[in-house]
Amino acid sequence: MNVSIRGCDSYDETLLYNQIKKNIEDLGGLDKYFEVGQTILLKVNLLMKRRPEEATTTHPSFVKALAKHLVDFGLKVIIGDSPGGPYNKSALAGIYKVCGYEDLVNDHISLNQNFGSFTSACDQALLMKQIETIDVINDVDHVVSVSKLKTHGMTLFTGAVKNMYGTIPGLKKAEYHYTLPSIDDFSNMLVDVCLNAKPTLSFMDAVVGMEGAGPSSGEPRQIGLVIASNSPYYLDVVACKIVGIDPQDVPTIKRCYERKIILEENLKVVGESVEDYYISDFKIPSIKGVGLLENRVPKWLNNMVDYVIKPRPEVMSTCIGCGECARCCPAKVIEMVDDRPDIHLSECIRCFCCQELCPAKAINIYRHPIGKIMMKI
């Protein structure tokens, strides 16, 4: 599987167009994957209402440049995602506007307005043989993943594979979080969802990514790349290597190795090299590896694991009392008391949706000092 790396140090639309063109050429050209007249879903990352410069969502200029290539080839483009929270016209209208997507619409490019869903059968799945899926999948011939390179509080890294989680409609994602609290099961589910979505090509906006407390509360970080592949699984491996993350530390990637979806000998990097863009000081979330350590702890130490080793959300003074964390909590363990979240930690499943969807970035993921030391052992 080929992964194309091309340098791109800004969101200048001409530069983006030219570098994405090189990505496409590296992968063999669009005619290798599509036929003129087909319709493509660009499955972008529209996690929440955030301006493009905050690096939480796929930058609209990146999407515009990629869509122009597809339209020039003779394809119709639908841009869509099912972000956190309700999946309906009014919720998406606000997200499209704030994220800068309204200006992308023309005769050949539209924003998804189909908010239905259906149950999809996935024979390749390990856990999820039946997957609730956004109905726009039925309106298109191909899905193309257009992700953002970011760290992630629960899964360490979010890229092309986890981007497909947005093919699950709205609040159904919260149900999956709640029913699959184990990181092994949750990451296997994410792989199943990606297999179900079957992205034909995957592109990653790594011009400016997010480091630290991603996917929404971290800091923008200049990376200077556009990355593309004919496999979302191999793309994530290469992206992790660029920012200094061991791919085997990422639960979704580890599951892919275990399931033989990724075979190291099949990976081929084309275009430019990982070494030319390697970042040694990319800020990685401190929860790294918790699932691996937790699996080695005897059952009688579970209470200590829960208190000392497991990370937990804590509310900071910047909380605005909007209650979004309580509304989005899959386990329903957050209640608003005097306009402030009260988190019942004994029932918390550590999905960190509260942090992910907090509009004020007021949820911190705390780890006990002893736990930090133990994670280094």
Total domain count, the chain: 2
The verdict on 327 and 263 lying in the same domain is no
Taking alpha carbons only, the member of 224, 332, 325, 226 closest to residue 279 is 224
Question: What mean pLDDT comes out for the span 97-109?
Answer: 96
The verdict on 273 and 336 lying in the same domain is no
The verdict on 134 and 222 lying in the same domain is yes
The verdict on 35 and 84 lying in the same domain is yes
Within a domain: 285: no
Among residues 277, 300, 333, the one where a domain terminates is: 277
Higher pLDDT, 290 or 284: 284
DSSP-based three-state secondary structure for 79: strand
Within a domain: 282: no
Please give the torsion angle defined by the CA atoms of residues 147, 22, 225 and 75, in that order, rounded to the nearest 10 degrees.
Answer: -20
Give the range of the structural domain holding residue 251, as residue numbers without chain letter.
2-277
The verdict on 206 and 344 lying in the same domain is no
Q: What is the pTM of this model?
A: 0.84
The verdict on 160 and 228 lying in the same domain is yes
* pLDDT tens-digit readout, 113-142: 999 999 999 999 999 999 999 999 999 999
* pLDDT tens-digit readout, 251-286: 999 999 999 999 999 999 999 999 999 999 999 986
Within a domain: 284: no
Contact assessment for residue 81 and residue 144, using Cβ atoms and an 8 Å cutoff? no
The verdict on 199 and 322 lying in the same domain is no
Among residues 218, 244, 277, the one where a domain terminates is: 277
CATH number at residue 354: 3.30.70.20
pLDDT at 368: 63
DSSP E strands, 154-249: 156-158, 199-211, 219-229
The verdict on 206 and 355 lying in the same domain is no
Q: What percent of the chain has pLDDT over 90?
A: 71
Among residues 277, 304, 336, the one where a domain terminates is: 277
The verdict on 46 and 134 lying in the same domain is yes
Within a domain: 283: no
The verdict on 221 and 352 lying in the same domain is no
